[in-house]
Structure 1
Amino acid sequence: MKSGDPRTWMWTRALEALNEAERLHKQFFHLGRSPSRRPVWEPPVDIFEGDGALHIVVALPGVTLDRLKVVSEGTSLLISGDLPVPWEGRIGALHRMEIPHGRFERRIEGLPPGLQATRHALCDGCLFLSFRKPEHP
C-alpha cells in the first residue's frame, strides 16, 4: 500500500488514539500501596488556589459519601474509601475491566499549615474540598 492510502492513515491514527487512551488510563488510575501494604488505586486530583483559598477536586465516580473518608494529618490530607464492583454476585463472563474498583487512597502532602475546611461536596462523580488559607500579618 502507498503511504497516502487512507486505510493505512486511518489505521495508524486509530492505533495512536488507543495507545494515548491507555497511557492516560495508566497515568490517572494507577495502583499504589497503602501503609497497610494492601493494593489500592489512586484517584486523580486537581489542586488550585485563589481568593485566599485552596481547592481540591478528586475524581471518584461511583463513590458514595458513606464509603468515603477524609482525614487531615498536619500538612497532608488522606482521602480513602472503597468502590464496590457493581456486578458482585452476578454470574457471567467478564470481557473488559478498566474502571478501578475496590480500596482507594490518595495522600496529598505538602499542604500549607493551618488550613481551615470551608466546603466539602460530592457532586457529579467528584469530591470538592475547599480550605481557607491562614492570613499572615
Structure 2
Amino acid sequence: MANRNARDWMWSEAVQMLARADRLHRQVFRPGASAHTTYWEPPIDLLETAGDVQIIAALPGVDPSGVQVFIDGDALVITGRRDPSPCMRRAVIHHMELPQGQFARRVPLPAGHYGRIDWQAEHGCLTVTLRKAGQNR
C-alpha cells in the first residue's frame, strides 16, 4: 500500500510541475509581444453544456472593474491588469508566484454562434457565460 501512495504522490508532483512549466512557457514565449510589454495568461477552465459555454479564469487580486471581456472572431478575449499590493513596496519579497501587471488570455471557442455574454467575479475567479445563439432560457 505504501508503494501506491508514493507513486500517487510522485505522479501528482509531476503533473503540478508540468502545469507550472506550461504557464511559465506561455508567459515568456509570447509571439508578437514587445520587450516593453509584459503580459501573463490566467489559467482557465472551459466547459460546454447544451445551452452555453462557460469560461472560468483565475484572477486573484484583480479588480473586476478593470477587466474587459469580448468575442474576437472565434475566440473569447479576457484582458486586464493585476497591480502589486501596496505592502509589496515596503516588504522584502522571499517568494512570489502570482504574476503582476497586464494580462491577456485568448480562449478559442467551440464552433457555434453565441448570443449574450454574462460574467461575474467571485472568490478570485471570473466566470464568463456565453449563451449559444438560438437557445431559449
Q: TM-score with structure 1 length normalisation?
A: 0.72
RMSD: 3.0
Structure 1 contact 44–58 (Cα < 8 Å) conserved: yes
Cα 1:93/1:19, change in 2 over 3 Å: farther
The SS at the match of 2:94 is coil
Residue of structure 2 in register with 1:42 after alignment: 41
Asked if the contact 1:34–1:40 (Cα under 8 Å) also holds between the matched residues in 2, the reply is no
Unaligned runs of 5+ in 1: 1-9
Q: Distance in 2 between matches of 1:18 and 1:57?
A: 24
Residues 85/119 of structure 1: CA separation in 2 closer, same or farther (3 Å cut): same
Tell me which of 10, 13, 19 is aligned to 1:24.
19
What is the TM-score with the length of structure 2 in the denominator?
A: 0.72
Unaligned runs of 5+ in 2: 1-5
The separation in 1 between residues aligned to 2:133 and 2:12, in whole angstroms, is 45
Residue type of the alignment partner of 1:128: T
**CA distance 1:114–1:35, shift in 2 (3 Å):** farther
8 Å CA contact retained: 1:83, 1:101: yes
The structure with the larger Rg is: 1
Aligned length, in residue pairs:
125
The corresponding residue for 1:71 is 70
Give the Å deviation of 1:110.
4.3
> What CA distance in whole angstroms lies between the structure 1 residues aligned with 2:61 and 2:129?
21
Aligned pair in 2 of structure 1 residues 75, 98: CA closer, same or farther (>3 Å)?
same
**Residue of structure 2 in register with 1:99 after alignment:** 98
Identity %: 27
